[in-house]
């Protein structure tokens, strides 16, 4: 079952009430130590490869799938850095509420050439750690980790 199907089915039962979502995000650096960031369609801020886990999916597998879907990169090895707990309740435009728990990984081995999917992801680019663009909240965590 896809994440979209799972969320749709869950929301049909519970409505917009708060729910916990678990996902994964990756710090992906090239050989020069630059951080790969993505800009989602409709957003001006840059962020990490990230996504919600599918039902029963291991967190490293979530990151592997999201890297493939969003960037066309293949994950070979990743190291868990931190488990980020929510500091606030989030709400999307339709009123659905959620708390987001995110496993933050440092991607230590990967292959391929980054290519945005053109559906969710508008742009991918490597940035020097000391010269990052405006970031999403999760992207700001990356800045802390890289400092």
- The string of pLDDT tens digits covering residues 4-63 is 888 889 999 999 999 999 999 999 999 999 999 999 999 999 999 999 999 899 999 999
List, for residues 75-103, the tens digit of each pLDDT value: 999 999 999 988 889 988 899 999 999 99
The pair of three-digit structure tokens given for residue 51, joined into one six-digit string = 């996504």
Give the predicted TM-score (pTM) of the model. 0.90
Query: What is the reported pLDDT for 87?
Result: 82
Q: Between these two residues, 147 and 108, which has the higher pLDDT value?
A: 108
Query: In the prediction, which pLDDT does 1 show?
Result: 67
CATH fit for domain 3-146, picks 3.90.79.10, 3.40.50.10860, 3.30.2010.10, 2.40.30.10: 3.90.79.10
CB 26, CB 50: distance < 8 Å: yes
- Separation between Cα atoms, residue 41 and residue 36, nearest integer Å: 16
**For the stretch 81-97, what's the b/e string if a residue is b when 16 or more beta carbons lie within 10 angstroms of its beta carbon?**
beebeeeeeeeeeeebe
Beta pairing partners, 52: 23
pLDDT surpassing 80 at residue 71: yes
């Amino acid at each position: 079952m896809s994440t979209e199907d799972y969320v749709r089915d869950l929301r049909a039962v519970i409505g917009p009430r708060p729910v916990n979502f678990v996902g994964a995000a990756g710090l992906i650096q090239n050989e020069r130590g630059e951080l790969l960031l993505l800009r989602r369609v409709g957003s001006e801020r840059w962020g990490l490869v990230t996504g919600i886990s599918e039902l029963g999916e291991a967190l490293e597998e979530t990151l592997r799938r999201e890297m493939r879907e969003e960037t066309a990169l293949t994950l070979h090895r990743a190291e868990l850095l931190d488990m980020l707990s929510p500091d606030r309740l989030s709400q999307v435009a339709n009123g659905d509420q959620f708390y987001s728990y995110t496993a933050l990984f440092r991607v230590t081995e990967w292959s391929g050439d980054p290519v945005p999917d053109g559906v969710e992801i508008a742009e991918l680019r490597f940035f020097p750690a000391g010269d990052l663009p405006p970031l999403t909240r999760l992207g700001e965590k990356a800045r802390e980790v890289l400092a």
